[in-house]
Amino acid sequence: MKNRLLWLTALLLLTSCHKPAGQFYQGYVEGEWVYLSAPLAGYLEKLNVARGEHPAKGATAFTLSADQEVHGLQEAQARANAAVERTRNLTNPRRPQEIAALEAQLQAAEAALKLSTSQVKQNEALAAQSYVSIARLDESRAAKTRDAAQVEVLRQQLSSAQATLGRSAEVRSAEDELAAAHALVEQKRWQVDNKTVLIPASGEITELYYRAGEWVPAGQPVASLLPDDKRRIRFFVPETLLSGLKIGQAIEAHCDGCTSPIAATINFIAAQAEYTPPVIYSQGSREKLVFRVEATPSPQDAPRLHPGLPVEVRLK
């Protein structure tokens, strides 16, 4: 009898050490998955992760084929380079050699105009005496008109070449084209960059939905990731305890196989009551209305929690 009492006492002590005294509420662990996808479609060129792996933040998850996007980026870059040269050509003044060449061309055109003007006067005098035909007179007049037009064209070109601010409208147009070309380059570069998807946070790869070589539609997840810090404890309390709960309140969770309690902080309290979900398996309270409460575990405890794991929560 004495040995039996000693055994019962030791059992109670062990039980009290494993689970502190106080009211416990049933709950479970829930995960917040991140689904890794690309905004563009393409063939899955390379899959860098496997189910069950624990890649670090910033590692490459997968890569889609990007040949078309790379060619588009090269074309946009070439157009941008051409726009840069055109803008530079319009904003920089002409070189002295170019201006001197235009001046020489203008002098030659003015000399030609002077000659054709003289020929018109001579032909008009001779035509009045019927020494030249009317057709010859018309030819000389046409030559004068042509030379006068050439002189005016060269004068305008020389004036434009000598003016540093005379092409402001052209410069603005070229600058707009350059800005549009740079915007197109950035758009194409974004498309190329987004064909490679990186791991957004340290965590576990829980599922793969495509294999290398398969066509992946835009926005479709290729893999699911459970970040280390994206677990939450969901439990249920009766209405009588609702007034004593508050956001930021500390709780303590226990689970089978956990060597120590799990510290967590309440971050959500439901505003409406609901029936106890079947996952709780509480025969006594299954038909009762309860309120859902969620808590975030501490960063050091979160990685050892697995979604679906039953827990018992004690309020502090």
Q: What confidence tens digit (pLDDT) does each residue in 203-223 have? A: 999 999 999 999 999 999 999
From CA 273, how far away is CA 290, in angstroms rounded? Answer: 5
Q: What confidence tens digit (pLDDT) does each residue in 85-101 have? A: 888 777 766 567 777 88
- One-letter amino acid identity for 19? K
pLDDT band of residue 14 (cuts 50, 70, 90) is very low
Locus of tokens 């319009």? 90
pLDDT of residue 8: 35
Question: What separation in angstroms does the CA of 182 have from each of 18, 120, 169, 193?
Answer: 65, 56, 20, 16
Mean pLDDT of the chain: 83
- pTM here? 0.61
From CA 190, how far away is CA 195, in angstroms rounded? Answer: 9
Q: What value does the mean pLDDT take over residues 304-309? A: 88
pLDDT greater at residue 286 or residue 176: 176
pLDDT of residue 271: 86
Q: What confidence tens digit (pLDDT) does each residue in 245-257 have? A: 999 999 999 988 7
3-class state of residue 296 by DSSP:
strand
Q: What confidence tens digit (pLDDT) does each residue in 269-287 have? A: 998 887 767 655 555 554 5
**H or E stretch covering 92:** none
Q: What confidence tens digit (pLDDT) does each residue in 57-68 have? A: 999 999 999 999
pLDDT greater at residue 13 or residue 62: 62
From CA 310, how far away is CA 316, in angstroms rounded? Answer: 19
- One-letter amino acid identity for 55? P
Q: In what order do the strands lie in the sheet with 42-47?
A: 196-198, 60-64, 42-47, 215-216
pLDDT greater at residue 20 or residue 29: 29
From CA 174, how far away is CA 92, in angstroms rounded? Answer: 13
Name 203's bridge partners: 227
Greatest mean pLDDT among 150-154, 156-160, 209-213, 233-237: 209-213
pLDDT band of residue 175 (cuts 50, 70, 90) is confident
pLDDT of residue 35: 97
pLDDT band of residue 135 (cuts 50, 70, 90) is confident
Q: Strand 60-64 and strand 250-254: pairing? A: unpaired
Contacts of 81 (CB under 8 A, 6+ apart): none
pLDDT band of residue 133 (cuts 50, 70, 90) is confident
Q: Please check whether residue 236 is in contact with residue 221, taking contact to mean a CB–CB distance below 8 angstroms.
A: no
Q: Please check whether residue 67 is in contact with residue 234, taking contact to mean a CB–CB distance below 8 angstroms.
A: no
